Copies of this chain bind each other. A is one copy, B any other.
Amino acid sequence: MKIEEEIRQKPFKDVYTKAMVNLLYTHSYLVSRQSRLFKPYGLSPEQYNVLRILRGKHPDPTTVSSIQDRMLNKMSNASRLVEKLKQKGMVERKECAEDRRQVDITITDKGLETLSRLENEVKLFNKDSIQLSEEEANQLNGLLDKLRG
């Protein structure tokens, strides 16, 4: 459905304002769905993302600041997200030997199992949530990459 109908608004005067609103609205649509997907696993979308970052380095650890760097939301708070995951037994934390300011985070077996149980479901979910052909999805990726300048 066109964005103007979805939020019951009169047509936008300029295409950039419309694109901004459209991006915000589409994001909300996707994240609401994601929350429902992850809920049965006791994870939020951001916690899931942190687990994926950690799996990418496993069995090597990742420092908190390196997690922050790779997070989708740069303004988020890796320190607190890691704490939540630790409470769930999905990550381990230990002081970094070479630089005692840093903290090494490693994903646990439980974390890896949770990711693996989610893997297929997430893949289907992503395809199902994005009602585009592969070619259109590629186009979208190109436009988003360009958009950010």
A residues touching B (Cβ–Cβ < 8 Å)? Answer: 1-3, 6-10, 14-32, 45, 56, 69-75, 122-123, 126-127, 129-132, 134, 136-141, 143-149
Given contacts A23-B26, A23-B27, contact A139 B148 (CB under 8 A): no
A71 to B75, CA, bound (A): 23
Identify A9's interface contact among B56, B75, B144, CB under 8 A: B56
Contact assessment for A18 and B75 in the assembled complex, using a CB-CB cutoff below 8 Å: no
- List, sorted by A's number, 9 A–B pairs whose CB atoms are closer than 8 Å: A1-B145, A7-B72, A16-B129, A19-B132, A19-B141, A131-B146, A132-B146, A140-B143, A140-B144
A56 to B138, CA, bound (A): 36
Identify A145's interface contact among B2, B8, B27, B56, CB under 8 A: B2
Contacting residues, chain B, for A144 (C-beta < 8 A):
3, 19, 22-23, 26, 140
In the complex, the count of this chain's copies comes to 2
Contacting residues, chain B, for A127 (C-beta < 8 A):
14, 16
Identify A136's interface contact among B8, B75, B146, CB under 8 A: B146
Contact assessment for A145 and B24 in the assembled complex, using a CB-CB cutoff below 8 Å: no
8 further interface pairs, Cβ-Cβ under 8 Å (given A16-B126, A19-B126, A131-B149): A1-B145, A1-B148, A17-B122, A18-B141, A21-B72, A25-B72, A28-B74, A32-B75
A126 to B31, CA, bound (A): 22
A17 to B126, CA, bound (A): 6
